[in-house]
Each structure stands twice: as structure tokens, then as C-alpha cells.
A and B are shown apart, each in its own frame.
Chain A
Amino acid sequence: MSLTKDRFGGLLFLLLSITYGYYAADIPLLPGDKFEPFHAQTMPYWLSGLGVIFSILLIVLKPAPTMESESISNSNLVLMLGLMAFTFVFSVALPWLGFPITTSIFLASSYWLLGERRPKMLVFASVPFALVFWLLLTQVLDVYIAPARLIFW
């Protein structure tokens, strides 16, 4: 039995279902709930059981003819992970640096990561955009955006 894409997915889901079922026991019940036909743990236990059944079926059954596998190069994977890392940094920096600065840096660095190298484009497609969007939110739509903690410390 070779480890195909499907079987790998099945194994991961089996692990997830077992872990999910294990933590179902941690859900607190109200006094007397155990004697009720349905309580907070019922659905999680059933879902865990269903998950285990489907995972085993996927692992055991003859694998379906796979679709044309997509060619994903390592460099594209790095790009995707880079963008995700930038998004994470954006979420951490947002309260500290404020909306216009964080957005400008996020956009400019994302353009750069995806291959844009013209300095004018990097600046003009990020800073004015961030400022106009911020003004639109705060001045036109009256949305409150917290000021940067570092500046108003």
C-alpha cells in the first residue's frame, strides 16, 4: 500500500478526528446532562466517529484516479509563505504603527516580494493608496481606527 496523496490526507484527518474526539471529554457538562439524550459532548463525539470512519475509508479504499497534479515550484511556495508572513507581521504591527504606515509597508513589501522592482511604482501604489483608504474610512465613512500606540505612547 503506497502512501498516495489521498492516503496522506486520510491519515491527517484520522489524527485530527481522534484528537477532536479526545478533547470532547474536556467539554464541561451541566449537572444531570449525562442522563439527557443530547448534551454539549454528543455532537463532538459523533463527528469524531464520523471523521474516523471517513478517514479509514479514504485510506483503505482503492485510490481514485488523481487529477493532473499541479506543478508547484519551491520558489512559488516561498512566495506564498512570504506573503503569509507579511500578513502576520501586518496584524502584529497594526496597533503599534497605525493604519497608514503599516498598510504602506505591507503593500510595498508585498509588491517587491512578487517581483515589482521599480521604486516609483513601489511608492506610488502603496503610500497614496494607504492614505486615501485611511481618509475614506475615517473621514467619509466615519469608521474609528485606533491611532498608533508608538506615536501616542
Chain B
Amino acid sequence: MFEGVFTGLSTALMPFNLMMVVVGCFAGTFIGMLPGLGPISAVALMIPITYTLDPSSGIILMAGVYYGAVFGGSTSSILINAPGCASTLVTTFDGYPLAQKNQAGKALALAAYSSFCGGTVGAIILIFAAPALASVSLSFQSSDYFALMLLGLTSVAAFSGKGQVIKAMMMTVFGLMIATVGNDVITGAPRYTFGQMDLVDGISFLLLAMATFALAEVMMTIMRGKMFSTSETMKPVALSSMKLSLDEVKEVAPTVARSSVFGFIVGVLPGAGATIASFLAYGLERNLAPLRLRKMFGKGALRGLAAPEAANNAASTGSFVPLLTLGIPGSGTTAIMLGALIAYGIQPGPRLYVDHPDVFWSVIISMYFGNLVLLVLNLPLIPYISRLLAIPPQILNPLIIFFSIIGVYLVSFNTFDIQMMVFITLLAVGLKMLDFPMAPMLLGFILGGMLEKNLSRALVVSDGSFDFLWNRPLTFSIMSITVIILLLPWVLNVGKRLGTKLLSAAD
């Protein structure tokens, strides 16, 4: 393991890669700060740039953007009460009230320190957890992979929220359907190309990611009319001192430690991600807090700000564990990174640890540097970076649209791709208006090809019988977890209803 750590250190410490971490963190902070654009959009916007870099540098840049975007989202949550992404929504609960009390600087500093601690704890656990899991997963066979991919797809859908499970499942199936467009990976037979030569290679991952996240998000912002909002809440508040007193540090230290470990564990679970981690950590801290402090939650409690910030950054790190070791992305953002790695010709999963130790370890090590950059460079620059919020939206939005479409065009030099983007964006906007989640679709699309390949292999080996699902203990265990996760929302719902009925009957 130490050999790997040194490989990672030597790769991550290369001047160019260090520059990528800094550039990624800055770019991520800029993009993440824009209301409506979260880490997924930020990472998607970076993909065309990373295509010109070597895999290690590219993935280091994207990891930096990821961290930066989460940090940027926190900044806009605190300064203008507009979370850049779902995982920083909880930050607004206590961050914005603090800013209104003329403590915006302190809130930003606390968010940065908590994020740094969360990310650092996460990176340290990752150093030990990832190789252990990777060495176990080296014994995986195609049936295990198939079961794992099913688990990844199912858990993303199952964690998508109340009333959204079926819709998320439908979107996963839709993503798998889109993945079948183009020549079949096994036989080479054209599928759903309708005679169009431009569709023979299938739909590009970059195109789909840009259309459904970057472009569709901008369009949704315009449609919601948020870019024309002139309400007081959208005006950035003035920054004050960024210093924390010793008592305040003592108060939040246990919260940060608890939330970091908790956030990492939640982040490792496929599908759970930073949003759930931040909500759970906030709830946990509110319950643990003494009554006097509990009353402060929602009105500018330091613990209420530190908990979600530490948890969402630790969860962002945790979500790299299933990506790097099993090839199963734990969140929408890591799904995009998975797609980018595949585009590089690198297959994340157990073999990544063996075949590309430089990529595996440099990503882990660069995460630590990313957190350091955010703390040392970004925090002092926040007063200047936040001026980005002053760029008129009527100028900023067309520029984001331009960068999205030109990013796709510069990879293929085919204007058909831009037309395809327009079509997919309109479709994505329609689906968003009907409250269909986009992340499961992208995950289905990315895992579609691998899922089909592994299912085909497993079926051929078992001579067409589905007994491969329960013949191997490992496959059976993963399938059992999948079924449990799939049924859990329904079981909980039924249990809740029964409990309510029993209570009303007892009354």
C-alpha cells in the first residue's frame, strides 16, 4: 500500500497536476457558486478540457472541480440563500441566518474549516478502505459484476426520495435504453440507428451529460425566472471578519469529527451521496445538541452549519470508494467521472488498482491537496470570487450555453451533435418539469454497456439459465442486498401506514 501512496504522491505532486488541483478548485468554486449549477454540471463542463490531458491529470482536475463546486455551493448558500446544489441546501438553514447577523465571514470560514476536516478525514479513511475493498473485488466474476451494477442502479433509484422511486427506476431503464442506441457491443448489429450514420457509434456520453445537466440546468433557471429575481435575498451580503474564537472552535470540533466519519460512511453507500449525508448529519447534531443549543438550529447555529459542511465533503470523498474499487459510481457526479475514465480507455473497478496505480492513488492523494487548496487559497479569495455573482445573468447564461455546446463540438467537430444536444435538452427539460430525476438516467446510460456485456457472459457460461444469480454466494449476497434496498421504501411505507392505523385505532 505504501508503494502505492508514494506513486500517488509522486504523480499528484507533479507541478502540472498540482496546477490542475488549483485550477479545478477555482473553476469548481466559480461554477458551483452559480445558483442552479452544482457539482454535476461543473464536472460535466470540464470534461471537454480533460480530454486533452492524460488520465491522471484529467481525473485530478475533475476531483478538484468536484470539491470546488461543493465549496462554491456553500458560499452561495451562505451569501445569497441560494444553494448551488442539493447537498448544500442544508447549509442555508444556519449559514444564511448567520450572514444576516453580519457574520457572513465567520460562516464562510466555518464552512471552509468543516469542509476541510470532512474532506481530510474522508481522504485518510479512503487510503485504507479503497485498497482493502479493491483487493477483495479482484475475485469478482461476470455474474458478480452484473449483480453489483444492478445494486448500483437500484440504490440510486431507491435513495431518490419519497414518491420518486418508480420514477427513478423508469429513468434508469430510460438510460439503459439510450445505451442500446448504436452498434451492439457484442455482435456489432446496428440498434435504433434508423439508418443515421451519426448514430452508429451510439450517443456520446459527453453530449448526454452536457445536455441533461449543464444545458438543461441553465434552461430550468431561465424558465423558473430566477435569473430575473430582484429580491433582497439574491443580493450578496457584506463579508465580515473570518475569525473564529477558541470557544466556538471547541463547540464545533466534536460536531465536525462526528459528521466527517458519518458523512464518509453514508457517501460510500451507492446512491446515498452528499445530499443525504448532509441532511442526516444535521438531524443527528440537532438531536444530540443540548436543549439550549437545539433552539438555535435554523437561526444561525454554528453546529448546524458545521455538521452538513463536514458531512457533505466527507461523503463526496466516500463516493469515490465504490467508483474506484468496484466501478460503480455512488453519485451523479462520480457517474460522470466514470464515463470520463471509460472515455480515456480506463475501466474503473478492481483492476484499476492493479493496472493503473498512478490514476488510483493520485486521485486519492490529490483529494487531500484539493481540500488544502480550498482552505488556503480559496477562502481568502472568497470576497473577490463572490463578485462573480454580480455578473448580469443575461450575459452569464448565454456564455454557459456557449461553453456547453462548444465543449461537445470541439470533441467531435460534428454539428449534428449540437442538434442532438438541443433535442436532448428539450427532452430533459420536459422530464424535469414532470419531476423525473436525471441522475439515474445518466447512471443507467453509463453502466448500460457493461451491464449487458456481463449479463451476456454470465448467461452464456450458465447455458442460458438464471441460476448464476444464486449459485455463487457472493452474487447471491449482492442480489439479496439489491432486493432489500429495492423493497425497503415500500416496507417502510407500509410499516408507517400500519403504525398510523394502529395509533388511530388505539385512540
Contacts and interface: CB of A to CB of B under 8 A. Distances in A.
Interface string B262-277: 0000000000000000
A65 interface: yes
B390 interface: no
A80 interface: yes
Given A27-B189, A44-B191, A76-B224, A87 B395 contact: no
Contacts of B366: none
Contact of A64 (B164, B219, B452, B460): B164
Given A83-B219, A84-B426, A116-B392, A28 B190 contact: yes
B255 interface: no
Nearest to A114: B394
Interface residues of B, number: 62
Interface centre among A83, A106, A107 (most CB of B within 10 A): A83
A89 B429 CA distance: 19
A53 to B, nearest CB: 9
Interface residues of A, number: 67
Given A58-B167, A87-B421, A111-B395, A67 B190 contact: no
A92 B405 CA distance: 13
Contact of B227 (A9, A20, A33, A114): A114
Contacts of A141: 52
SS class, residues of chain B in contact with chain A: helix
B166 A61 contact: yes
Contacts of B502: none
B177 interface: yes
Contact of A114 (B190, B224, B397, B409): B397
Interface string A117-137: 000010001000100000001
B429 A13 contact: no
13 contacts: A9-B170, A13-B174, A17-B173, A23-B192, A28-B189, A30-B187, A38-B455, A40-B186, A40-B189, A51-B170, A87-B401, A115-B228, A129-B399
Interface of A: 5-6, 8-9, 13, 16-17, 20, 23, 27-30, 33, 36-40, 42-44, 47, 50-51, 54-55, 57-58, 61, 63-67, 70-73, 76-77, 79-80, 83-84, 87-88, 90-92, 94-95, 103, 106-107, 110-111, 114-116, 121, 125, 129, 137, 141, 143, 146
Given A71-B224, A114-B227, 18 more contacts: A6-B435, A9-B435, A23-B192, A27-B189, A29-B187, A37-B463, A38-B459, A43-B176, A43-B452, A50-B173, A66-B163, A70-B433, A87-B401, A90-B418, A94-B409, A103-B406, A111-B395, A116-B394
